[in-house]
Structure formats: C-alpha cells, structure tokens
Chains A and B, each alone.
Chain A
C-alpha cells in the first residue's frame, strides 16, 4: 500500500512539473502566433491609429516582456483567476465552465461507443481468428479508420441528418434524451477513427494472452472455452486494452475541434478555434492548458490503474 502511495505522489509531482512546463510552452506559443491581439482589441479598422494601438497594448500589458507576462498570468492562475476574455468580456473561467461539459459529454459518449464497439469487435476477431469474421472486422475497422473525422461528420450529417432527418444537425441538446440524440452523430464520427486501433489492440492482446502457458494448461485440464476466454485470456489482455482506450480518449479531449465545428456544437474545441482566430490570448491559453491537463490526468490515471489490472507490471515496477 505504501508503495502505491509513494508512486501516486511521485506521479502527482511529475504531473505538476509537466503542467508547469506545458503552461510555459503554451503561453509562449500563443504569444508567438502571427497576428496582433491589439488590432482586435482596438475595435474597427478605421480606428487603428498607432497611438490607439499603443494604449491598448499598455492597457492589456501586451507591451511587457514575455516572461513578465507569463509570470503575471501564472500568478493569477494559481489564484484561480484565468482572467477575462479579450473577445467576450466574460470571465475565462465562466466561458470554459459553460462549454466544458458539452465537450466532456461528447468525449464520454464517443468513448462508450469506441470501447463497446471496438473492444467487442476485437474480441470477436480474436475468438474467430483466421475466419471470415476476423477478416471482416479487420477490413471494416481499417476502412472506418481511414475516413477522417470531418469527412465522416459531413457524410453522417448529410445522410442521417439532412436526408433522413433522424438526428438533429446542430447544437448539443437538452435533457438526457435530447443530449443523446444531438450528440449521437458527432460522437459516432469521433469514435469511428478509434475503432480500428482499439479492435486491433484487443485482438492482438488476446492472441498474445491465448498463447501463454497457463491458458494451454487450463485448456488441457478441460476448463470450458468460454471460461478460458473470460477468466484467462481477456483478463490478461486487459492491460494493453485499457491503456490504449485511455490514450485514445485522452487524445479525443484535444481533438473535438473539427467535429464540434461540423455539427455547430459550442464546446471547448470551437471555443479554442475562435480564440485563436481572434488572438484571444487568455481563452486560448486556458483551453489549451485544460486540454493538456486532461491528457496528462487521463494518461496518469491509466498508468496508475494499469498495475492493478496486471500484477506482472506491478512486480516489474516495484
């Protein structure tokens, strides 16, 4: 137990260090992006005298050196103040809080879809190895993965949304059924790409597990095939499957931009795109940081959970 505590605290420290480094990189990157936020902040095209721009720069501290600005931002950040958006006069935290649940729901829905369908297809392929079912799963998922999510989004919208009218084409919906209905197509287009990876990993992990000695022993001693797959094969294969699911899900947190735009969903992704286009520094920084945090947290969780699922990893690390 103590080893777990020390491992988790080590992880936490690493997490903080990574966040700190990431926050600086993000800050510098947003700062270095082409374009001048003062131009946007100063208003219309015809008001942009050099004096006015200088005033605006001073007002928003844009004329200070990068490190000073970063320090100012970090100080506010650790005091839970993400600042006010340049574009919306609103608090950044309010903007993010209003949009984050939508993106989270979308990613959660997509995760359920790709885990259930992907792992299911992988198990099916592994059990029916080298049959036509196997080929069908591998072929089908490869095809699905080769379609970029924005193409899938457009195709799904035009078929199920516009032509058949089964699903709404914009917005994120209200209530449980409304949200489910609104987010089905977006989640599906997000999940399609992940299907191939997950099913392939599942199939391979199960094949590896099935080839191990204790499975041979169990089989020789007459344990029913169903139990062998459930208790021995799947259980031992769970480590890589969970790891991969976690990684893919973490990646999705940062990758909803395209799908949100195609479906007119106001989530974190579309907030980020808007912020970058308008040089809305505080928002872009906060969203990027949130995405990085989400990624780090999920991957750390996977790392922590992994040994619990697979005793062999635990032995190796402790």
Chain B
C-alpha cells in the first residue's frame, strides 16, 4: 500500500505514446548502441550517471512530456512536477544517482532504538525568500505530508508521534520499526516547505504565479501557464553552485518532443517512453544514456478464469517470449526481466539482488527453451486446461499491443486460447483501480514502478489483504516475511528476507514479470552531467548539468 504512487499516470501515458520505430544506427555516447537497429536488449548498458560536466553555461532548454499539474507535490504529484521541483525543493534525505539515500536537510540522523528516529536539522540553510530554515518548518512540513488528504499520507502509517525535541532536533516515534521511512524522506514525504510561504499562498500554493517555498539550488523563476516554466540558480544557496544558471522547461509529447530535440529547439529530456528514445537513436548531436529505474512491464492476472490457478500462471510465464517483446515492442530499449521491479530498486546489497534476479530465469526465461515449453505444458496438463479463452486487457499503444499478442502466442504454444480486449487509454487506467472495470479480463498488460529504491517497496503488493493482489494469493509465511522485512532496519538482513519473499512471489506468479524499463536521458552532445537513473525525480539533476568542455 505504501510505495508506488501517482506518477504511474505519467509512465502509463509515456508507454502509451504514439510509437516511433527505431531506425537509427549507432552514435557516439549512446551506450546502448550495438551498431544496428533496434538495440540489443540483452546488452543494454545501464549507467547511474553521465560523465561530470566541466563547463558553466547561462541557460538550457529542457523538455517535459507534459506541463506540471501543480508544484505542490503534496496535493498533486506528477512526474513532470517532480522533474522540475527536485531542483528547487530539498528533502530531509537525498536519493543519490546510484539509488542509495543519505541524510540531507537532516544533517544527521540517529536511531537510539528501532522505533525512534532523531533528525538534526541542517544549520545555515535559507529558504528562497531569505528566511532561515528551522526545525519548526521541518515539523510543520512532516505534519502536512502526513495529513490523510495528502499524497504522502500512507508513508506515515507507522508513525506514532513527531515532535520538536531541541532547537534543531525532531524526534519521530514509530508504532513498529519501519525500514522504508528514511527512504520515504528522500522522496516527496521528506520535502521541507517554508511554512510562512505555503500558508500565505493558501489554496493557490503550487499554481502559476506563486513562490516555491523551498531551499534548493534553483528558485522558481516564472511559470507561464500553458507556455513555459523557468528556474534560476539561487544566489545564496547553501551548497555547491549549479553549473547552469537558468533552465527553461517546455512540454511536448510524442513526435513534437522528438522534433524539438532533433532540431535543437531543446537541449534535453528524460524520456518517459522508451519509444521516444528509440526514435532519437543515432540522431546527430544527441547523446543518449540509459539508467536503472524501478519501472517494469508486467502481466497482472486476475482471479477470473484460468489464470486463477498458479500452475497456469507459471506455465504462461515460462512460455512467453520476453526478448521478442523487448525487440519488437520497444526497439530493444527494455530488458527481459524476471522480477516485477527494475534494477533501480536495488538501493542496497546490489550484487545479491542481481544474482537472485539471474537465478529467477528458471521461472521467467528471456526466451523459452524447449525444456521450458515442455514444463509449461506439463503444468497445464496437471492443472487441467481452462475451457474459456484467457481475456487479455490492453490499450492500443504499440508496446502493449505487442505484449498482448506475445501473451496470446504463449498461451497458444501451451495449448490454451487467448483473446485480446482493447480499450481506450483513459479506460485502461481504471483497470488498475476498479475491480468492476476489470471484471471482464483475466490478465492486464501492465506497467508499474515504485518510488523507493527498495524491492520491499513492491512486495507488499502480494500481501493477502493488498488491493493489488488480484489473484487472491494467500500465504501466511509470505505475509509474515513481508512484515518482518518491512520492520528490519538492517540492510543485509532485510535483503535476505526480501530475496526469500521475492522467490515466493515468483513461484506463485502473483504477477508475471516481462521486462525492466530503464530511464532514458536524451541530451545535446555538448552537454553532460545529470544522472541517467530514475533518481532524476528526486535529485537536483539540473545543478550538475553543464558543458562537456570547460
């Protein structure tokens, strides 16, 4: 219940974007290029960061896929808003390009016991209106985030109390140990607002024409609704000065976005759709970087029809051609994957998670072998083939259509019938949330990402009482392990528990993972510096953007 969040809409829209096929060949810094089109999904190289910039520049033009809804992430958190605001607002913890977190506006954090967290508020930080950042602002902000009407309220489910315990000290007490809480403080739940400014703006806070109420390296310059948004380097910033003085954001989707980058009207963008990056591959003057993200493509089965049986679900997972999907649906820019979260979720114990992911190949192979198919058929035989065709729910976007067809082909291969049901994108989104809307489908061609770099941020979706556990998977040991892991503060021990949980989730095929979707940075080849990983949503990436040459 606590981790994936409303940025989903943006990813869904991105993946649904009008498809543009990869036609280009290799180019300079394109780390994924292998000389031909499409990219080879298996060799896609993911880097957390781009090479550091050396040169200062006055301005940069950046593209978003949509205009931000609002710059108050408590009331309306969308990806577009985050990409901008992460340069303007700072959080108590900070997500690093390599997806680890460290204390930030909380200069120090200290846990006297596993149910208490004491944060020391950083000294010498000023808000953009010049006023000093105080512990009172921190406490007020935390309470605002925790308000049940706000986006981040569910992050505070374990919190018993939050109090100011010293001039620069906040003490948070928990009902139960909460391993994800500090990670949430690196996300939107950790933003520190200037109480005075937010209160003064009232209902209009976050809309065009209002101040930003933050302390980051950039300050909100102007937001001309429907036209552009500009951020400017903040002169009195407490940390290192940004390399780029001013960043102007504009927004465009699909081909307009691709054209703007192609013609140099924009200097860069984080492409939410792999197809956008794909359309720009090999374009002269543009570098591309791919980084780890938590996003994935998945099949989400429902309790209706044949897929209710775990054996049939496992059989489908064994028979589906993940490599084919990556190649023909996404120009090779997604990677066949055996877990429902991308590698950006590995914020700790990376090697162990990577090794475990490789081992899961036995339940979710990249391309099914003869043995896999034989095993799948055996499973179907043992379960008894369902009489009705399996209804696959999708929208008409290129990627999803390819996935739906691949699922149907896989079903056919193991002697089952598949039937594709296509609905408009707006209606498609409701499949995720409304059991009534998905009453007619057996499996959804879905995508998902989580906001925290911790696989445990995902696996609570398999809990017996989770609203995202559509197949009615019930396993007491699983539930117990998930709760224990969520309450285990030690990374090493939590990783062990997470791996156990992950194996159980995979064996039961609660969801069927297909591919991980890396984040993609497309950028003018004179520039470099920002991270390529999904951290761009929570890390002040613009401050590191600059020229390659000094």
Q: Which A residues form the contact surface with B (CB < 8 A)?
A: 34-36, 39-40, 42-49, 84, 87-91, 94-95, 98-99, 102, 154, 157-158, 161-162, 165, 168-172, 261-264, 266-267, 271, 274, 276-279
Q: List 26 A-B contacts (CB under 8 A).
A: A34-B426, A35-B426, A35-B427, A39-B429, A45-B6, A46-B1, A46-B3, A47-B154, A84-B203, A87-B76, A90-B207, A90-B225, A94-B208, A94-B225, A98-B226, A99-B226, A162-B259, A169-B265, A170-B250, A262-B256, A264-B251, A264-B253, A264-B257, A266-B67, A277-B425, A278-B426
Is there contact, CB below 8 Å, between A46 and B69? no
In the bound assembly, the distance between CA atoms of A46 and B461 in angstroms comes to: 9
Residues of the B chain whose Cβ atoms lie less than 8 Å from the Cβ of A98: 208, 224-227
Is there contact, CB below 8 Å, between A43 and B151? yes
Binds A, one of B302-310, B397-405, B430-438, B502-510: B430-438
In the bound assembly, the distance between CA atoms of A278 and B208 in angstroms comes to: 20
Residue interface mask B1-31, A partner, CB < 8 A = 1: 1111111110000000000000000000000
What's the least CB distance linking A100 to chain B, in Å?
Answer: 9
| B454, CB-defined interface residue at 8 Å | no
Residues of the B chain whose Cβ atoms lie less than 8 Å from the Cβ of A277: 425-426
What's the least CB distance linking B386 to chain A, in Å?
Answer: 27
Is there contact, CB below 8 Å, between A46 and B4? yes
| B263, CB-defined interface residue at 8 Å | yes
User: B8 contacts which of A44, A89, A262, A274 (Cβ < 8 Å)?
Assistant: A44
What's the least CB distance linking B257 to chain A, in Å?
Answer: 7
Nearest opposing residue in chain B for A271, CB measure: B226
User: B252 contacts which of A34, A88, A90, A170 (Cβ < 8 Å)?
Assistant: A170
In the complex, chain B residues 145-182 whose Cβ is within 8 Å of any chain A Cβ? 151, 154
**What are the 7 closest A-B residue pairs judged by CB atoms, nearest first?**
A264-B252, A264-B256, A98-B225, A48-B433, A266-B226, A44-B6, A44-B5
| B255, CB-defined interface residue at 8 Å | yes
Is there contact, CB below 8 Å, between A162 and B263? yes
The answer to whether A47 and B252 touch (CB under 8 A), given A89-B75, A157-B259, is no
Which one of A94, A165, A169 has the greatest number of beta carbons of chain B within 10 Å? A169
With A44-B4, A94-B208, A98-B208 already in contact, 20 other A-B pairs whose C-beta atoms are closer than 8 Å: A35-B430, A39-B434, A43-B5, A45-B4, A46-B2, A46-B4, A46-B467, A47-B5, A48-B432, A88-B69, A99-B226, A168-B263, A169-B256, A170-B259, A171-B252, A266-B67, A266-B226, A274-B66, A277-B425, A278-B9
Is there contact, CB below 8 Å, between A262 and B255? yes
In the bound assembly, the distance between CA atoms of A278 and B468 in angstroms comes to: 22
Residues of the A chain whose Cβ atoms lie less than 8 Å from the Cβ of B259: 157-158, 161-162, 169-170, 264
Residue interface mask B401-430, A partner, CB < 8 A = 1: 000000000000000000000001111011
Is there contact, CB below 8 Å, between B208 and A90? yes
Residues of the A chain whose Cβ atoms lie less than 8 Å from the Cβ of B272: none
In the bound assembly, the distance between CA atoms of A34 and B429 in angstroms comes to: 12
Nearest opposing residue in chain A for B8, CB measure: A45
Is there contact, CB below 8 Å, between A43 and B263? no
In the bound assembly, the distance between CA atoms of A157 and B484 in angstroms comes to: 57
In the bound assembly, the distance between CA atoms of A169 and B204 in angstroms comes to: 33
Which one of B72, B227, B425, B433 has the greatest number of beta carbons of chain A within 10 Å? B433
Is there contact, CB below 8 Å, between B151 and A88? no
In the bound assembly, the distance between CA atoms of A87 and B68 in angstroms comes to: 9
In terms of DSSP, what is the predominant structure of the interface of chain B?
A: loop
Residues of the B chain whose Cβ atoms lie less than 8 Å from the Cβ of A263: 256
Is there contact, CB below 8 Å, between A36 and B434? yes
Residues of the A chain whose Cβ atoms lie less than 8 Å from the Cβ of B224: 98
What's the least CB distance linking B380 to chain A, in Å?
Answer: 31
| B70, CB-defined interface residue at 8 Å | yes
The answer to whether A95 and B226 touch (CB under 8 A), given A45-B432, A46-B3, is yes
What's the least CB distance linking A93 to chain B, in Å?
Answer: 11
Residues of the A chain whose Cβ atoms lie less than 8 Å from the Cβ of B3: 46
The answer to whether A90 and B70 touch (CB under 8 A), given A34-B427, A45-B468, A98-B224, is yes
In the complex, chain B residues 450-509 whose Cβ is within 8 Å of any chain A Cβ? 461, 467-468
| B393, CB-defined interface residue at 8 Å | no
In the bound assembly, the distance between CA atoms of A142 and B255 in angstroms comes to: 28
| B260, CB-defined interface residue at 8 Å | yes
| B206, CB-defined interface residue at 8 Å | yes
| B262, CB-defined interface residue at 8 Å | yes
What's the least CB distance linking A286 to chain B, in Å?
Answer: 14
Residues of the A chain whose Cβ atoms lie less than 8 Å from the Cβ of B251: 264, 266
Is there contact, CB below 8 Å, between B4 and A261? no
What's the least CB distance linking A59 to chain B, in Å?
Answer: 9
Is there contact, CB below 8 Å, between A172 and B227? yes
Nearest opposing residue in chain B for A45, CB measure: B432
In the bound assembly, the distance between CA atoms of A159 and B8 in angstroms comes to: 35
What's the least CB distance linking A160 to chain B, in Å?
Answer: 11
In the bound assembly, the distance between CA atoms of A271 and B227 in angstroms comes to: 12
Nearest opposing residue in chain B for A59, CB measure: B149
What's the least CB distance linking B76 to chain A, in Å?
Answer: 6
Is there contact, CB below 8 Å, between B427 and A170? no
What's the least CB distance linking A57 to chain B, in Å?
Answer: 13
What's the least CB distance linking A171 to chain B, in Å?
Answer: 6
Residues of the B chain whose Cβ atoms lie less than 8 Å from the Cβ of A165: 263
The answer to whether A161 and B263 touch (CB under 8 A), given A89-B76, A90-B70, A264-B252, is yes
In the bound assembly, the distance between CA atoms of A304 and B5 in angstroms comes to: 55
In the bound assembly, the distance between CA atoms of A266 and B467 in angstroms comes to: 37
In the complex, chain B residues 181-208 whose Cβ is within 8 Å of any chain A Cβ? 203-204, 206-208
Residues of the B chain whose Cβ atoms lie less than 8 Å from the Cβ of A89: 69-70, 72, 75-76, 203-204, 206-207
Is there contact, CB below 8 Å, between A34 and B253? no
Residues of the A chain whose Cβ atoms lie less than 8 Å from the Cβ of B432: 45, 48
In the bound assembly, the distance between CA atoms of A282 and B52 in angstroms comes to: 46
In the bound assembly, the distance between CA atoms of A39 and B72 in angstroms comes to: 19
The answer to whether A49 and B256 touch (CB under 8 A), given A95-B225, A277-B426, is no
What's the least CB distance linking A283 to chain B, in Å?
Answer: 11
Is there contact, CB below 8 Å, between B226 and A170? no
In the bound assembly, the distance between CA atoms of A263 and B260 in angstroms comes to: 9
In the bound assembly, the distance between CA atoms of A36 and B426 in angstroms comes to: 9
Residues of the B chain whose Cβ atoms lie less than 8 Å from the Cβ of A90: 70, 204, 207-208, 225
User: A43 contacts which of B6, B266, B434 (Cβ < 8 Å)?
Assistant: B6
Nearest opposing residue in chain A for B68, CB measure: A88
In the bound assembly, the distance between CA atoms of A173 and B467 in angstroms comes to: 47
